[in-house]
Amino acid sequence: MSNQTGEPTIQFLGAAGTVTGSRFLLACGNTKVMVDCGMFQGLKELRLKNWNPLPIDPAEVDAVVLTHAHLDHCGYIPKLVKDGFRGKIHSTEFTAKLADVILLDSARIQTEDAKYAAKKGFSKHNPPKALYEEVDANRAVRQFSPERFHERIEIAEQTFVTFHPSGHILGAAFVEVEFYGKRLLFTGDLGREHHPLLINPDHIPAGRFDAVITESTYGDREHVPVTTDFEEAINKTIERGGSILIPAFAVDRTEVILVQIRELMESGKIPRVPVYADSPMALRALAFYRQAINESSPEIRPEIVETWKNKDPFSTGTLVELTTVDESKTINDPQQPCIIISASGMGTGGRVVHHLRNMLPKAKHTVILVGYQAIGTRGRNLVEGASEVKMHGEMVPVRAEIESIQSFSVHADGDELIAWMKTQSVEPGQVLVVHGEAGVAETFSDRIKSQLGWKSHAPHDGEIVRL
């Protein structure tokens, strides 16, 4: 462990100029703590960064603090463990549970993709290989240390953390970190008010922070109000005899979409057609959301607990949960109208890829994109009007209707981020803007300076900032 010499710093090892690969290294003397340890996704040049060695020996990292269980925040942890990290991974209880599901699924998908690429011969790697395997993910899961919200805990020398609900997904937190006398705030991904299931984000704790490290995913725009676009897209597709494919993030987005579909069916606004939840990871995550409601978790809105405890807010009455590959194959080319919800949300992997391959060439179908689509993903290409997309080494024509509906976002937009920052009682020493695409972080940083009058900076990849 460290002595008290040296000066506390933060190094940006990801999510600088991009929305993916969140990794922030706190260092002072011999003490090293990582806040988030995510995987790069999207563009090939970003994905290749997953293979680059870290500028430090993972064995030297004392602890990892995890804000939530999305891959771009936790997906690199098994690789860190594979390369020698043996410390604890501190997170909330439901983040630990969801990370178990997500990391094992990530390992399986990587292994299966490598085998498929080897079989088909479309990979440039010979032989194709996974970044990490299930053994690494299982080892990582065993290193998790679930923590309670609002409890201050010591995780390393002169390092204390406190988790606060952020309303983004189940278990998600913004994190207060005390590091060698410096008080820091990491937003992780900040949720919005009026999430259909989760409580609003906590206000910022009182007192002065030396630095606030904030996301800026939607820092340059405002979310559109809730519209009828979703139900209209479903209705016109069913009327022409087609089916709807919804690529959805396995954690939270699937749950939110199922609640919306149930409400639309119950009110008679859309027909009662079969609804297929086709993602093993999403189904396991769904079980945790059901558990949270039935156990009256403080993360769940009280009115949801009151109405739905020991009932199922996610059942549409026509919901079919598909668990096996064979079951999934039965809906690859649906002959009767139905709604398919499948991961991944950006169309980059998982069962949704096979559904896209079968449904995109047919004009009667509709693909509804309901989440953020990172640059370089199939989802982003579809949103931008691609006439064909590459899948498993082949170009697949896009004839299906493509809809992008942003009202389901659980990321705070620029106005919401500013409003939340104003809940600080004292101006922070500096704001460091991360987790935004090139140009977006800078735009939001400028807005902080002009509207709030605070010192703000958007760090570049690899930059070290003194605290």
Is 42 part of a structural domain of the chain?
yes
Is 418 part of a structural domain of the chain?
yes
Is 3 part of a structural domain of the chain?
no
Q: Residues 339, 453: one domain?
A: no
Amino acid 46: pLDDT = 93
Q: What is the CATH number of the domain that holds 91?
A: 3.60.15.10
Of 404, 421, 440, the domain-final residue: 404
Q: What is the CATH number of the domain that holds 371?
A: 3.40.50.10890
Q: Residues 234, 338: one domain?
A: yes
Look up tokens 């930059």; give the residue: 463
Q: Residues 270, 186: one domain?
A: no
State the amino acid at position 323 in one-letter form: T
Of 404, 436, 458, the domain-final residue: 404
Of 357, 377, 404, the domain-final residue: 404
Query: Which of 303, 260, 258, 263 is CA-nearest to residue 282?
Result: 258
Q: Is 138 exposed, middle or buried (0-12, 13-18, 19+ CB in 10 A)?
A: middle
Q: Residues 181, 200: one domain?
A: yes
Q: Residues 261, 128: one domain?
A: no
State how many domains the chain has: 2
Angle at 20 (CA atoms; ends 321, 105), nearest 5 degrees: 30
Amino acid 223: pLDDT = 87
Amino acid 30: pLDDT = 95
Is 366 part of a structural domain of the chain?
yes
Is 120 part of a structural domain of the chain?
yes
Amino acid 122: pLDDT = 64
Question: How many C-beta atoms surround the C-beta of residue 263 within 10 A?
Answer: 15
Task: Quote the CA–CA distance of 159 and 275 in Å, as a whole number.
Answer: 47
Q: Residues 174, 254: one domain?
A: no
Query: Which of 354, 367, 108 is CA-nearest to residue 234?
Result: 367
Which ranges of 190-228 does DSSP label H, i.e. alpha helix? Answer: none
Amino acid 44: pLDDT = 87
Task: Quote the CA–CA distance of 149 and 166 in Å, as a whole number.
Answer: 11
Q: Residues 265, 368: one domain?
A: yes
For 31, 228, 268, 370, 402, the CA distances from 273, given in Å and listed in that order, are 56, 18, 12, 20, 20
Give residue 95's region: left, alpha or beta (phi > 0; psi -120 to 50): alpha
Residues (pLDDT < 50) of the chain are 1-4
Is 214 part of a structural domain of the chain?
yes
Task: Quote the CA–CA distance of 231 and 229 in Å, as a whole number.
Answer: 6
Domain of residue 288 covers 229-404
Q: Residues 373, 450: one domain?
A: no
Q: Residues 383, 316: one domain?
A: yes
Q: Residues 29, 153: one domain?
A: yes
Q: Residues 347, 430: one domain?
A: no
Query: Which tens digits make up the pLDDT trace of 194-246?
Result: 899 999 999 999 999 999 999 999 999 888 777 789 999 999 999 999 999 99
Angle at 85 (CA atoms; ends 29, 64), nearest 5 degrees: 70
Is 299 part of a structural domain of the chain?
yes
Q: Residues 213, 256: one domain?
A: no
For 228, 287, 316, the CA distances from 272, given in Å and listed in that order, are 17, 23, 8
Is 4 part of a structural domain of the chain?
no
